[in-house]
């Protein structure tokens, strides 16, 4: 699956480990949640970056003690219809101030990019090559947003206020 | 009326262009039907028995005349010349081609209408009182808050893939015309002791397979906290709502399984985290929305103009006036309900010609405004009393002056087997037969307020659980069978109806309803004891006896 990071198709330096794959010497690794929680101390001491794959039915606040040391949190969309990871993403970004890479994995299609970006994802394991290629174009589809989220984009309500005030100054 | 500005229009146009691209990808095979399904549903497109069905949102039931003309245009150009107004303040078109849909949406976008989130597992069209802003005694116009919620929930990045669909309704009157107790979230606008605006919040109501009346989760949420509180409810629901079984995925099941106390503790905890965030609404924002609702320049007019006095001599006019005309907050004006329930016709249908003509009448007599109610009727919200006789004549010519609002032939019915791929039984022909049985206006009037609701399957689109008489079509050994309940209601005293006994066959339904009505007429204590009150006083037994004694 192509990875889109920083708006471009990028190489993925991370190797995904299963629960029982032997730990490689060096290099960047992505570890499933249960393994990560079980061996966190050992894993974090190792050279190379570490990320965790967190299922969408597990309380994301469990990750809080480790957030400063994680390079990637990968959240999971088992189907594109299952939107639990959107809430997890916003909690990570907005409540727990996670600033590392937040990756969307699973059934990631182009029609979700805008929602995902707004929820705080910045990297995407995209299911279809064509969707990955269309990333920039799709991400720019909307210029108006009604709700505030942690992405800091100005909402329609506030844009109107600004327009009003600037009109007010002119007259 | 709410005036869309450039910002709203831009969003709607961006949505149309996105959907055009999605349809193209479907037609070229780039998207599978499974992938496309979710996307089309988010734009109100269902695949039905015979064709695609297209559901267009009418936020809080308010339409401008040019918008109604645009709906007429869609009916004429892309469909078969009519549309069907629904219990969710939407309009549906039943015969539209997939390849025409982007154009239909683009035509609607020109007048600020869209189909966003009229289907799919997201937050649906926000509904409200069809008399909002004109009903006497309302606390304030609930549409200001409905509009705030409409904006907040449109393309919400966290809640566009919920466990199930999600419906919010708002009322600001003592008499609830928005059925808030059978919605996922029901909001009742109130003032606290300090005179500040806020909401009683109900949660977990709904019909369908497992009907529930909503429960109060909080007695007062300040207006400034409304969005954060709703967001907290949705976040809890999004994370804990069941996804293993679509029949158990609604918030009503979560509330039921956790209990309202535990559920409200979860919400409270979440709310404390986000309450003082950018979701807090300042007065300026509300004032901005309020300023974009434009109210007519009412004149000072007599309460009892000569025109009305003279017309009162005509019994036909009087019959219509008595059940179609309601008091307005400005003396000299009235709210006129337009029955879309002519005898023998499918409830809620309007032809393109009728829609165009109604738009003209709205321009002439109601400051260009039309309302859509959940009873599948329309209303003109600002009619000067002196114009009532002329309006009545004009409506009569269009076949839109049936004097049956709130009477037994003002039936709410889903499309059932005539259009719906999920149906087990016919609904429309039952409604048609019942309107013929009770076509006699004297009799209907003698019976008084009585709502019949019909659904063609357990999904309850016709709200049968909350009909005074509810009729539910089910399938048994390959045959259509109808279960009959009595005593349901969807107003401020909302209740679910009780089954009167075994289901009856298609041909028997109208007879059974006649039996129930006869029993009521014989049992009522006084001529002004309503059907509902008689049922409440006596329970189902006497009705059951009457119906099954001879069957
Ligand atoms: C013709 C195609 C239609 C389809 C496929 C359809 C599908 C459904 C389904 C699956 C449900 C059940 C959801 C649940 O509560 O679990 C439902 C409920 C509902 N539908 Fe429809 N429907 C259709 C037409 C209509 C029409 C014409 C109306 C209005 C006249 C309508 C209004 C409603 C309402 C109000 C509910 C209420 C459920 C609640 O309050 O919980 N639907 N529909
Ligand atoms: S109640 Fe059933 S038959 Fe009627 S419209 Fe809804 S899904 Fe279709």
Cα gap B260→B302, rounded to integer Å: 50
ipTM of the complex: 0.94
* Residue count of chain B: 551
Q: What sign results for the dihedral spanned by CA atoms B529, B532, B372, B200?
A: positive
Separation between Cα atoms, residue B499 and residue B485, nearest integer Å: 4
pLDDT score, position B244: 84
Contact A84 B10 (CB under 8 A): no
Contacts B121 to A, Cβ<8 Å: 81, 83
What confidence tens digit (pLDDT) does each residue in B139-150 have? 999 999 999 999
- With an 8 Å Cβ cutoff, are B277 and A156 in contact? no
Query: How deeply is A169 buried, as exposed, middle or buried, from its count of CB atoms within 10 A (0-12, 13-18, 19+)?
Result: exposed
| Residues A16 and A144: beta-carbon distance below 8 Å | no
B114-135 tens-digit pLDDT: 999 999 999 998 999 999 999 9
B306: nearest Cα among B383, B389, B377? B389
Closest-approach residue (CA) in chain A for B232: A87
Q: Is the CB of B394 under 6 A from ligand 1?
A: no
Name, in order, each residue with C-beta under 8 angstroms of B434's C-beta and a sequence gap of 6 or more: B408, B409, B411, B452, B509, B510, B513
| Mean model confidence pLDDT for chain B | 95
pLDDT tens per residue across span B312-353: 999 999 999 999 999 999 999 999 999 999 999 999 999 999
Q: What are the residue ranges spanned by the domains of chain A? A: 3-140, 143-170
Strands A123-125 and A101-106: parallel
CB–CB of A82 and B152 under 8 A?
A: no
Could you tell me which chain B residue has the CA closest to the CA of A87? B158
Q: Tens digit of pLDDT for each residue in A36-86?
A: 999 999 999 999 999 999 999 999 999 999 999 999 999 999 999 999 999
Residues of chain B found within 8 Å of residue A88, distances taken between Cβ atoms: 239
Q: Residue B51 burial (CB < 10 Å; 0-12/13-18/19+)?
A: middle
Query: What secondary structure does DSSP assign to B160-204, as a single string?
Result: SS-SS-B-EEEE-SSS-SS-GGGSSEEEEEEE-TT--EEEEEEE-
- Cα distance between residue B233 and residue B201, in whole Å: 10
Residue B421 Ramachandran class (φ > 0 left, ψ -120 to 50 alpha, else beta): alpha
CA A33 → CA A29, A41, A75, B79, distances in Å? 12, 14, 10, 52
B21, two tokens: 């691209």
Residue B404 exposed, middle or buried by CB count within 10 Å (0-12, 13-18, 19+): buried
* Burial class, B62, CB count within 10 angstroms (exposed 0-12 / middle 13-18 / buried 19+): buried
Q: Is the dihedral of CA A104, A108, A110, A114 positive or negative?
A: negative
Contacts of B484 (CB under 8 A, 6+ apart): B469, B470, B471, B472, B499, B500, B501, B503, B504, B509, B512, B513, B516, B547
Say if ligand 2 is within 6 A of residue B470 CB: no
Integer Cα distance of B138 and A114 in angstroms? 39
pLDDT of res. B440: 95
DSSP assignment letter at B279: T
For residue A29, the cross-strand partners are A15, A50
Q: Do B156 and A83 touch (CB under 8 A)?
A: no
- Do domains B6-110 and B306-398 share one topology? The answer is yes
Q: What is the pLDDT of residues B176-230, one digit of tens each?
A: 999 999 999 999 999 999 999 999 999 999 999 999 999 999 999 999 999 999 9
CB A70 within 8 A of CB A14: no
- CATH class of the domain at B6-110: alpha beta
Query: What stretches of B42-89 show up as alpha helix (H) in DSSP?
Result: 65-78
The CATH fold of domain B142-292: Sulfite Reductase Hemoprotein; domain 1 (3.30.413)
* Closest-CA distance of chain B to residue A21, Å: 30
Q: What is the CATH number of domain B412-549?
A: 3.30.413.10
Q: Which of residues 71-90 of A touch B (CB under 8 A)?
A: 80-84, 86-88, 90
Q: CA–CA separation, B418 vs B10, rounded Å?
A: 37
Mutation choice for ligand 1 from B212, B247, B414, CB with most ligand atoms inside 8 A:
B414
Candidates 3.40.50.920, 3.40.50.1970, 3.30.720.200, 3.90.480.20; correct CATH number of B306-398?
A: 3.90.480.20
For chain B, the helix, strand and coil percentages under 3-state DSSP, each to the nearest 5: 40, 20, 40
For chain B, the domains span 6-110, 142-292, 306-398, 412-549
Interchain CB distance below 8 Å, A111 and B39? yes
Question: Are B157 and A144 an interchain contact pair (Cβ–Cβ within 8 Å)?
Answer: no
Which chain A residues touch B154 with a CB distance below 8 Å?
Answer: 146
Whether the CB of B460 sits within 6 Å of ligand 1: yes
What ligand 2 atom has the least distance to the C-alpha of B462? 1
Q: Are B545 and B516 in contact (CB under 8 A)?
A: no
| Burial class of A41 by CB neighbour count within 10 A (0 to 12, 13 to 18, 19+) | exposed
Tell me the CATH number of domain A3-140, given options 3.40.605.10, 3.20.20.70, 3.40.1280.10, 3.30.565.10.
3.20.20.70
Low-confidence ranges of chain A (pLDDT < 70): 167-171
Query: Helix (H, G, I), strand (E, B), or coil: what is residue B4?
Result: coil
pLDDT at B59 over 80: yes
pLDDT category of residue B47 using cuts at 50, 70 and 90? confident
Q: How far is A25 from chain B (nearest CA, A)?
A: 37
């Amino acid at each position: 699956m192509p990875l889109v990071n920083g708006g471009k198709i990028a190489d993925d330096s991370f190797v995904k480990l299963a629960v029982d794959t032997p730990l490689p010497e060096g290099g960047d690794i992505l570890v499933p949640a249960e393994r990560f929680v079980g061996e966190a101390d050992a894993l974090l001491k190792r050279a190379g970056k570490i990320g965790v794959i967190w299922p969408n039915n597990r309380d994301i606040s469990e990750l809080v003690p480790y957030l400063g040391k994680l390079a990637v949190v990968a959240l999971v969309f088992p189907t594109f219809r299952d939107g639990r990871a959107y809430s997890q993403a916003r909690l990570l970004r907005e409540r727990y101030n996670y600033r590392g890479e937040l990756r969307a994995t699973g059934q990631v299609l182009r029609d979700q990019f805008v929602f995902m970006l707004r929820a705080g994802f910045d990297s995407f394991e995209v299911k279809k090559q064509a969707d990955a290629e269309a990333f920039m174009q799709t991400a720019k589809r909307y210029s108006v947003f009604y709700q505030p989220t942690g992405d800091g984009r100005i909402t329609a309500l506030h844009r109107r206020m600004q327009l009003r005030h600037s009109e007010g100054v002119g007259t | 009326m709410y005036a869309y500005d450039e910002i709203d229009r831009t969003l709607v146009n961006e949505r149309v262009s996105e959907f055009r691209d999605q349809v193209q990808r479907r037609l070229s095979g780039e998207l599978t039907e499974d992938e496309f399904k979710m996307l089309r549903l988010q734009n109100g497109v269902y695949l039905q028995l015979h064709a695609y069905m297209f559901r267009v949102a009418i936020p809080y039931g308010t339409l401008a005349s040019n918008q109604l003309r645009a709906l007429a245009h869609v009916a004429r150009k892309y469909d078969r010349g009519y549309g069907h107004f629904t219990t969710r303040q939407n309009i549906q078109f039943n015969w539209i081609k997939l390849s025409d849909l982007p154009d239909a949406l683009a035509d609607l976008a020109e007048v600020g209408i869209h189909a966003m989130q009229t289907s799919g597992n997201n937050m649906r069209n926000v509904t409200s009182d069809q008399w909002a802003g004109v009903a006497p005694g309302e606390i304030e116009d609930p549409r200001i808050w409905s509009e705030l919620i409409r904006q907040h929930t449109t393309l919400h990045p966290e809640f566009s893939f919920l466990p199930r669909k999600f419906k919010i309704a708002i009322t600001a009157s003592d008499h609830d015309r928005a059925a808030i107790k059978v919605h996922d979230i029901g909001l009742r606008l109130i003032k606290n002791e300090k005179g500040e605006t806020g909401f009683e919040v109900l949660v977990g109501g709904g019909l369908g397979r497992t009907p529930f009346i909503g429960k109060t989760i909080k007695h007062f949420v300040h207006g400034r906290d409304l969005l954060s509180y709703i967001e907290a409810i949705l976040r809890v629901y999004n994370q804990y709502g069941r996804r293993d079984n679509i029949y158990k995925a609604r918030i009503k099941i979560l509330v039921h399984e956790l209990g309202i106390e535990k559920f409200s503790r979860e919400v409270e905890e979440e709310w404390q985290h986000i309450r003082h965030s950018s979701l807090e609404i300042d007065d300026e924002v509300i004032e901005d929305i309020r300023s974009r609702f434009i109210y007519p320049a009412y004149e000072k007019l007599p309460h009892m103009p000569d025109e009305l006095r003279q017309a009162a001599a005509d019994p036909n006019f009087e019959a219509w006036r008595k059940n179609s005309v309601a008091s307005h907050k400005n003396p000299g004006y009235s709210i006129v309900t337009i029955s879309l329930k002519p005898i023998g016709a499918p409830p809620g249908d309007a032809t393109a010609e009728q829609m165009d003509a109604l738009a003209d009448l709205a321009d002439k007599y109601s400051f260009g405004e039309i309302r859509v109610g959940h009873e599948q009727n329309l209303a003109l919200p600002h009619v000067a009393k002196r114009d009532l006789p002329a309006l009545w004549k004009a409506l009569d010519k269009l076949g839109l002056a049936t004097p049956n609002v709130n009477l037994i032939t003002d039936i709410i019915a889903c499309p059932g087997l005539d259009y719906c791929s999920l149906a087990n039984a016919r609904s429309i022909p039952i409604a048609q037969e019942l309107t013929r049985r009770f076509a006699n206006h004297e009799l209907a009037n003698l019976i008084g307020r009585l709502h019949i609701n019909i659904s063609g399957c357990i999904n309850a689109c016709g709200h049968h659980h909350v009909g005074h008489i509810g009729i539910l079509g089910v399938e048994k050994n390959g045959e259509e069978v109808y279960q009959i309940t009595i005593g349901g209601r969807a107003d401020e005293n909302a209740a679910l109806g009780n089954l009167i006994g075994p289901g009856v066959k298609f041909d028997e339904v109208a007879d059974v309803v006649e039996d129930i009505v006869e029993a009521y007429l014989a049992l009522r204590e006084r001529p002004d004891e309503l059907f509902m009150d008689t049922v409440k006083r006596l329970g189902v037994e006497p009705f059951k006896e009457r119906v099954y004694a001879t069957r």
